[in-house]
Amino acid sequence: MKSKHILKSKNSKHMTSSSYSNQKYNTLYILPLILVMSILPLIMYLYEFDSGLSGFSWHSSNGEELDIFLFYKQVFFIVICLIMLFFLIWKGYIEKKKTRFLPIFIPLSLYGLLALLSTVFSDYPSLGFKGISGHFESIFVILGYCLLVYYAYLFIETEDDIKFILKYFLMGILIMIFLGILQATGNDFFATTIGKKLYTPERYWDQLDSFKLTFGPKRVYITLFNPNYVGVYVSLILPLIAGLLLTEKKLKTSLLYLGIILGLIICLLGAESKAGFISLFIALIITIIFYRKYIFRNIKITLLIIGIFITLIIGFRSAISSTFNKVVSNINIILNKKAEFSLTDIKTEEVLTITYKGNNLVVDLNKFDENIDITMKDTNGKDIETTIDTNTLTSTITDERFSGITVTPVVYDSLLCVQINIEGRDWVFSNQFEDGTFYYLNYFGGFDKINKAESSLFTGYENFASGRGYIWSRTIPLLKDNIILGSGADTFTIQFPHQDYVYRTNMGYDTQIITKPHSLYLQISVQSGVLSLIAFLVFFIAYFISCIKIYINGKFDTYFKRVGVAIFIGVVAYMVSGISNDSTITVAPIAWALIGIGIACNYKVKEQISNKAKA
């Protein structure tokens, strides 16, 4: 009996040691997820590069640009993905462990494959392989998103794994909140000397006063490049934390969750992200549906949450009122307020044909020896009445159809040009080129043709969603040329019709290069193809359906269920925010990691249900 007891003790010790070893091993495996979710969003460092766009007529001839928020996030993420790939190979081939593959990963794989093929066969593959200015979401990043989902699903084995990930994820969130609150109170850390030294090379430390991140006073951007991305970040994470709070039993942890929620709301208000508010409103509705059994179970927590929201509404009523007014304004635009512009077209051909208030003004410029002749006629060939200032040679049109328009001969870079002032805005053209046709002098100092872009769906509603209506209306027609394969990763800038100078000017985009469609779904459709968007949506719909089936009963009695349903609601809010925001290397990696964890939770819950049924 004694020897038997000793043998049992030795076996028990051996099992404990083995269990410890496996736990240590799995900690190593899930470390990449922690780095992506907690460290990546914080990365900022100055990067100088050539945009690769200087050869385009609508872009500046100087391609030198600076980036602080995006490039090194991309580098960091790709390195982490390579580590994950190594671990996958190690698990599958070195350890000889069988890997699992669910049907839900088929559309995800198709999405990644089509994105890759679109980039390989792109007219501009180099941009897709290295990433473009203002975005840096190369094909390697997109494939990394797909890898991240599968990796999280494959390596998360226990509830302790998820607790370990969330522990460090919460630390990262707290740092982000701290930075955001500093910015919201006008004490931006990155505006201080120490803050600037963290993201600039030492060779620039004698020029720190010239480095300014101008997002407006007390505007929250944290480390996410754009205040709108703060809205996306909050809409993804706040529902997750709120869900964990509603099912939390420990007071200390509940207070931590409440503090995080409060901090995230302050950041959202400081970011002034309308899309973030709308996404959270949708998340609130879904939260009430799924957590209906929990919301009023703990009356103290419920009253505390209500109290915080009332305090926030009172304290930030001006920001909330501004958001509400913006939403109402957008509704009015859709219902009855079409955009109306006096100038609707300029044709740069053998003559200039300017469409103004529905009438066409035809302008021609000729030079005979030392004499300059500018003619102005209507479409019937009738001369337009003008008055001339003999000192400046400015002709002011008196014809009521074009009243107020002035035309002046000018010289730009040794070229004879004609400057046409329309409603206070100068347009400069020249026909002193080999083909004898007119070219427009754009904001970047280059002469280019004006080509009116094809428009769809939001035509006449260009002002919708802070000008997104214009970008969407000019992006949707691009889809017909990108059905099976898209233009390639990070090539939206090339695809967008930047020569639509008239409407770009009408909408205030004449001084900007439009680098993104302000919609995750249009972004995928153009760059990876409409077919890839379908695969992308099938993947998410399958995930959502799985979550609804598992969690709709409102009973979250295991940690896998608690986390799984909370992630589901956060991802729904993220997808809603994607209607008016793009995928970005600042937030998307977190979203994809959470989706992978969510799928792992769903798998484990189904496994638990199956085992219980067998028992």
Whole-angstrom distance, CA of residue 410 vs CA of residue 393: 9
pTM recorded for the entire structure: 0.91
Residue 240 has pLDDT above 50, yes or no: yes
| The pLDDT of residue 128 is above 60 | yes
The distance from CA 51 to its chain's CA centroid, rounded to whole angstroms, is 19
Angle at 179 between CA 173 and CA 184, to 5 degrees: 120
Q: Is the pLDDT of residue 16 over 50?
A: no
Half-sphere exposure of 5 (CA within 13 A, CB side): 2
pLDDT over 80 (residue 319) = no
In this structure, of 458-462, 470-474, 611-615, the range with the lowest mean pLDDT score is: 611-615
Q: What pLDDT is stored for residue 24 in this prediction?
A: 64
- Return d(Cα 345, Cα 106) in angstroms, integer: 47
Band of pLDDT at residue 137, cut at 50, 70 and 90: very high
Q: Quick one: which of 345, 239, 338, 243 has its CA closest to 292? A: 243
Write the Ramachandran bin of 344: left for phi over 0, alpha for psi from -120 to 50, otherwise beta. Answer: alpha
Cβ pair 239, 276 in contact under 8 A: no
267 touches 234 (CB < 8 A): yes
With bands split at pLDDT 50, 70 and 90, how would you rate the model's confidence at 430? Answer: very high
- Of the chain, the percentage scoring pLDDT greater than 90 comes to 73
**183-215 CB burial, b ≥16 within 10 A, e <16:** bbeeebebeeeebbeebbeeeeeeeeeebebeb
Structure tokens at 180: 């955001």
Instruction: Identify the band that residue 434 occupies on the pLDDT scale cut at 50, 70 and 90.
Output: very high
Higher pLDDT, residue 209 or 439 = 439
DSSP state of 454: P
pLDDT at position 111 over 90: yes
Position 96 pLDDT exceeds 70: no
559-577 vs 159-184: helix axis angle to the nearest 10?
A: 40
The single-letter code of the amino acid at 173 is: I
Give which of 83, 590, 597 is closest to 91, Cα–Cα. 83
Query: How much is the average pLDDT of 369-375?
Result: 85
Residue 396, helix vs strand vs coil: strand
Q: Give start and end residues of each alpha helix (H) in 463-519.
A: 464-475, 492-495, 501-506
Residue 369's SS3 state is coil
DSSP string, 217-278: TT---TTSSSHHHHHHHHHHHHHHHHHHHHT---HHHHHHHHHHHHHHHHHHHHHT-HHHHH
DSSP letter assigned to residue 191: G
* Residue with the larger pLDDT of the pair 333 and 491: 491
CA angle 563–567–573, rounded 5-degree value: 155
| Token digits of residue 359 | 């009438």
Determine the Cα–Cα distance for residues 249 and 226; give it in Å rounded to an integer.
Answer: 36
- pLDDT exceeds 60 at position 1: no
Residue corresponding to tokens 């409409």? 530
Closest residue by Cα to residue 287 from 575, 604, 279: 279
Q: Give pLDDT tens digits for 271-302.
A: 988 888 889 989 999 998 999 888 877 676 66
C-alpha distance across the termini of the chain, in Å: 33
| pLDDT digit string, tens, across residues 476-523 | 999 999 999 999 999 999 999 999 999 999 999 999 999 999 999 999
For range 245-262, the mean pLDDT: 92
Q: What does the pLDDT read at residue 529?
A: 98
Q: Are 473 and 455 in contact (CB under 8 A)?
A: yes
Mean pLDDT score of the chain: 90
pLDDT range class, residue 320, cuts 50, 70, 90: low
Distance CA 291, CA 248 (A): 12
pLDDT at residue number 326: 59
Residue with tokens 């914080």: 42
Q: How far apart are CA 339 and CA 332, in angstroms?
A: 11
Q: Which pairs with CB-CB distance under 8 Å and at least 24 residues apart come from 196-201?
A: 198/44, 199/44, 199/45, 199/46, 199/68, 200/45, 200/46, 201/46
For position 308, what pLDDT does the model report? 66
- pLDDT tens digits, residue range 147-170? 999 999 999 999 999 999 999 999
Determine the pLDDT at residue 154. 93
Tokens of 275: 């899309």
Q: Which residue has the tokens 């505006």?
A: 191
Q: Give the pLDDT confidence score for residue 460 in this predicted structure.
A: 86
pLDDT band at 310 (very low <50, low <70, confident <90, very high): confident
Which residue is listed with tokens 């003999």?
A: 390
**pLDDT tens-digit readout, 193-209:** 999 999 999 999 999 98
How far is the C-alpha of 485 from the C-alpha of 122, rounded, in Å? 9
Half-sphere exposure of 440 (CA within 13 A, CB side): 27
359-364-365-367 Cα dihedral, nearest 10 degrees = -150
pLDDT at 9: 40
Q: How far apart are CA 175 and CA 188, in angstroms?
A: 13
Query: What is the per-residue pLDDT across 18-45, written as a single tens digit (0 to 9) for each?
Result: 445 556 668 899 999 999 999 999 999 9
- Find where tokens 């001006």 sit: 318
Q: Is 291 left (phi over 0), alpha (psi -120 to 50) or beta?
A: alpha
Query: What's the whole-number mean pLDDT along residues 556-573?
Result: 97
Beta bridge partners of 64: 50
Higher pLDDT, 16 or 360: 360
